[in-house]
Amino acid sequence: MQIKKGKARLLLKRKPTRSERSRSQMDTVQIRRRRQSPPSGRIRAFFSTHSRNGWQIARVVAGVISLAAVLWLWPSLMNWLNRPIARVEIHAGFESLDRVDVEAELEPFLVNRFFHLDLEAMRQTLLLMPWVREASLRRRWPDRLEVSLQERQAVARWKQDKLITGEGVVFAPDSVDKFALLPLLSGLDDEALEVMQQYLSISQLLRPMGLSVSELQLGSAGSWRFKVDHVTVYVGRDRRMERLQRFIRLYHARLDSRWSEVERVDMRYLNGASVSWRQN
């Protein structure tokens, strides 16, 4: 058995140097640090949460500041919006209504500013004026008030010192002197509408004849009489339209040519009439 002889190799482990040990420790620390650091997703979630909370806080702070600014500026803002009335526009026909009187009625209310005007109270005050039939008021920002008025139209005088409209509304202006040429109607105050309706009916019947009613009276007993020119016509209580038609026929047949001589016509008979002639 042959044994080959040769040099024996001994592998001896070399002791690391200090610099090598230091580098090895640094590598180990870096590996550990990398293992211990949080994941990138957690970092993003952390900053996202804090950013969202920050924006919410900022919005709350901004809202509080805005509210404080509004509260601080509110009196000045309202004072600017709620201005004194600088101009009043009155729209009306002013046929019988006096502008000065209207302005005098409105003046006590104009101490109030734009939003504090009591339009309904102003309207009711204007409606108390004799010549005002309807009134409407409107604000126009920033400092204007518009007033629209409808005037009453007098159709006749009522009991010497008042006037009456075509709707039977009786009103009392300061003076009726300039309305002396209007027809004179009379009766009980609660009969004013009936008297006006009767006046309109008789006027419509007589107009084609060239006649017009100058006076109409409803007596306390319900008896009617009217005056045409200088002639007084008695109609009575009953069958008024029938008697009026009979008067029209009588006028055309007998009275037209001698109308200036007639003083009175009484239609209260059943089928006839009596005529009183003027004395020379």
Q: What is the pLDDT of residues 29-68, one digit of tens each?
A: 454 555 555 555 555 555 555 566 667 777 777 777 777 6
Contact (CB, 8 A) for 234 and 264:
yes
C-alpha 267/C-alpha 269 separation (Å) is 6
Residue 17, pLDDT score: 61
Q: How many CB atoms lie within 10 A of CB 272?
A: 10
Contact 187, 218 (CB under 8 A): yes
User: What pLDDT shows up at residue 6?
Assistant: 46
Q: Which residues contact 153 (CB under 8 A, 6 or more apart)?
A: 165, 166
Q: What's the pLDDT tens digit per position in 228-274?
A: 999 999 999 999 999 999 999 999 999 999 999 999 999 999 989 99
Tens of pLDDT, residue by residue over 170-189, are 999 999 999 999 999 999 99
Q: Where are the beta strands (DSSP E) in the chain?
A: 87-91, 132-140, 144-151, 154-158, 162-165, 170-171, 184-186, 213-218, 224-228, 231-236, 262-266, 274-277
Q: Would the pLDDT of 133 be above 70?
A: yes
The C-alpha atoms of residue 50 and residue 53 are separated, in whole angstroms, by 5
* C-alpha atoms less than 13 angstroms from C-alpha of 45 in its C-beta half-sphere: 5
- What is the pLDDT at residue 2? 43
Tell me the two tokens of residue 208: 């084609």
From the number of C-beta atoms within 10 Å of its C-beta (0-12, 13-18, 19+), residue 19 rates as exposed
Give me 262's structure tokens.
């007639």
Report yes or no: 185 and 197 within 8 Å, Cβ to Cβ: no
pLDDT at 135 exceeding the cut of 90: yes
pLDDT value for 126:
98
pLDDT at 58: 74
pLDDT at 81: 84
Average pLDDT over residues 204-218: 97
The one-character DSSP state at 230 is T
Order of strands, edge to edge, in the sheet holding 132-140?
87-91, 144-151, 132-140
- Span 199-225, average pLDDT: 96
Percent of the residues in the chain that have a pLDDT greater than 70, as a whole number: 75
- pLDDT over 60 at 214, yes or no: yes
Beta bridge partners of 275: 265
Q: Which pLDDT score, from 0 to 100, does residue 69 have?
A: 56
Contact 131, 96 (CB under 8 A): yes
pLDDT, position 73: 56
